[in-house]
Structure 1
């Protein structure tokens, strides 16, 4: 079971990162070009929100069944175990909270520029945090 969940988490991560990058780039381009915020822009941001939340759910399941997750939490002297058991989950949860806040805040805004700016900031910070704590050694 662990191997299947781990492969799914790793594979879905590529999709989540791609959609999140697309959402951030779309928001930055929309803000820079002062274009109208359309349903397409909203859907791109919504897909970013959905795929990151799915990735979080898969990751939480993996955290409890993986030997690199909760089971290795007491071994903080090993850098790779500290990354997978503490740093990666904690920082990714913060990143997804920021992405969720960005989604929620955009609904209350009225101007197109402020919506793009909100997505640029919150989704962008979430993306940077996620990229900063990925276990790159397990990817390549």
Structure 2
């Protein structure tokens, strides 16, 4: 079961990264070019929100089924934090991805409250862009590529 969930989580991440990239650039371009906010822009932001939350749910299931999770009981907090591999899989990656999802959610919520196009694009560009950087910073590249 673990291998299947890990496979799904790894390949769904490509979709999340792609959508975050598209949504971030969409926000930046829309803000810089002073474009009119349209239904397409809304759908891009919404789809990015949805795929990232699905990735979070897959990640939560993976976290609790992974062999790394049992290391909390075996090694304790000190043992997990002193081992770089355990630390990235048990602490850094999950925490940073939750922060990224929170940024996406806040950005989506705040952009909906804006009444004109330019502030909508600004909110999306800032929050989705920050989320994209956070996600890139904590992907376990050695295991992923």
TM-score (norm 2): 0.93
**TM-aligned CA deviation for residue 121 of structure 1:** 0.5
Q: Over alpha carbons, which structure has the higher Rg? A: 2
Structure 1 partner of 2:31: 31
Structure 2 unaligned segments of length 5 or more: list them.
none
CA distance in 2, matches of 1:80, 1:130: 17
CA distance in 2, matches of 1:72, 1:53: 26
Name the one with the larger helix percent.
Answer: 2
CA distance in 2, matches of 1:72, 1:119: 38
**TM-aligned CA deviation for residue 78 of structure 1:** 1.2
TM-score (norm 1): 0.96
1:80 aligned residue (85, 96, 99): 85
2:111 aligned residue (106, 114, 136): 106
Structure with higher RCO (Cα < 8 A, 6+ apart): 2
1:138 aligned residue (116, 135, 143): 143
Equivalent residues, number:
139
Question: Structure 1 residue runs of 4+, over 4 Å off?
Answer: none
CA distance in 1, matches of 2:87, 2:115: 43
CA distance in 1, matches of 2:94, 2:71: 13
CA distance in 2, matches of 1:58, 1:134: 15
